[in-house]
Chain A
Amino acid sequence: MAKSPKNYDIVIIGGGPAGLSAGIYTSRARLSSLLVEKAALGGQIINARSVENYPGFAEGIGGIDLTQSMHRQAGKFGLETLTAEVTGIEINGERKLVKTSKGDFSAKAVIITGGSERQKLGIPGEAEFTGRGVSYCATCDGAFFRDKPVAVVGGGNAAITEALELTKFASKITVIHRRDELRATRILQEKAFAEPGIEILWDTVVDEILGENSVNQIKVRNVKTGQESFLDVSGVFMAVGFKPNTDYLRGILALDAIGAIVATGRMETSVPGIFAAGDIRSNSIRQVIAAAGDGAIAAVNAEKYITG
């Protein structure tokens, strides 16, 4: 006989700043709360060496220090956490069943804060050389490319931040961008243009990543002229956007064109009792402060939903 699912007032999916902030609020409101995280608590920001724009930390704070402190804070109020992957949500009237790799949990309200992950280009060599020259995190892997030439693919804030981080290590950084202007904010653009170690290849895409044990070359193509060429690099840092982690939510919640969850200013999704917060939400600005704010709003409105 199947074990009946454990009941909670709130199940939070995702353990980044949005989920941890929601957990602080719901557990402090004396709602029994379970947070389910598939990997490491903290979310993507644990890769950031220093978070410089989170209010209250004038000298900056390490991404991991910030989220570990959030976790301690939530734990103090009684938030339970579980390492498991969520595979689906079933809506049974008032209650929602959150299905995970470690069993099912029933909740009166669910807050989804599963965030997003780096978009993959899907080109030949990308998967094969991931961790052997292909990287999605310059802060994590930059030091392995000391005095070596690298490429950064993309033109947004993530790409330029990665390129600037890499100037500490790499001998030369080529930013490969498919358009003729950057999308990154002005301050980042100014820094990049002033950096002699950074060169930008405009109107260019990467078609293939080549190497033996690790990456040694990429094949690039100018999208305006069609001209193909090869670039010798030891590393390729991918920063071509983000993909919300919503595959298991298709057909359950309204999603936007890129798969992010459509939610109101109260963080309500298209299903009553299910809330969304942080990077997984449509039009998120992908900042820790916004994720934390979303989490608090979702928590307060989930509490109102439960208590009527």
Chain B
Amino acid sequence: MSKPVEIEEAAFNEAVLQAKTPVLVDFWAPWCGPCRMVAPVVEELAEDYDGRVSFVKVNVDDSPRIATQYDVMSIPTLIVFKDGQPVDTIIGFRPKDELKKILETAL
């Protein structure tokens, strides 16, 4: 059982950029309706890809500098990182199957 981990700015480097596996970062905020629709899908993916992909949540209100650094100007945005680099950006809600395809490409 694996769950997405909520992180703050200070932890981003280690949790995302230095990670050995691909990382899916879910940029969200509590006031964003569609983000609340994305969250359960990301939780399911975290279980499906346990050990192969790690899942991180970044609250854009608490960590605005990370959002700015990766040009996040719309949420929900999911960014897939591999070897410290963003390899795919998904803006807005997407069904689980579509997200799976994107993760399979990154693996």
Contacts and interface: CB of A to CB of B under 8 A. Distances in A.
A103 B86 CA distance: 34
B91 interface: yes
A139 B32 CA distance: 8
A244 interface: no
Interface in B65-98: 67, 71-75, 77, 89, 91-97
B29 interface: yes
A83 B96 contact: yes
A29 interface: no
Given A47-B34, A63-B33, A64-B37, A39 B95 contact: yes
B62 interface: no
A46 B74 contact: no
A141 B27 CA distance: 12
A39 B77 CA distance: 15
Interface residues of B, number: 25
Given A40-B34, A64-B36, A64-B37, A235 B95 contact: no
Contacts of B61: 143
Given A130-B91, A140-B32, A143-B61, A40 B37 contact: yes
B23 to A, nearest CB: 20
B33 A46 contact: yes
Interface in A7-48: 38-42, 46-48
A144 B34 CA distance: 16
Nearest to B37: A40
B60 interface: yes
Contacts of A48: 33
Contacts of A62: 33
A242 B32 CA distance: 21
B73 A141 contact: yes
Nearest to A213: B71
A140 B37 CA distance: 13
A73 interface: no
A49 interface: yes
A271 to B, nearest CB: 28
A213 B68 CA distance: 11
B34 A141 contact: no
Contact of B67 (A83, A132, A144): A144
A263 B19 CA distance: 55
Given A130-B91, A131-B74, 14 more contacts: A39-B93, A46-B34, A64-B36, A131-B77, A132-B73, A135-B73, A135-B74, A140-B75, A141-B75, A143-B61, A144-B60, A144-B72, A213-B71, A214-B71
Interface of A: 38-42, 46-49, 62-64, 83, 130-133, 135, 137, 139-141, 143-145, 213-214, 235
Interface of B: 29, 31-34, 36-38, 60-61, 67, 71-75, 77, 89, 91-97
Closest 5 CB pairs of A and B: A40-B37, A131-B91, A46-B33, A64-B33, A131-B74
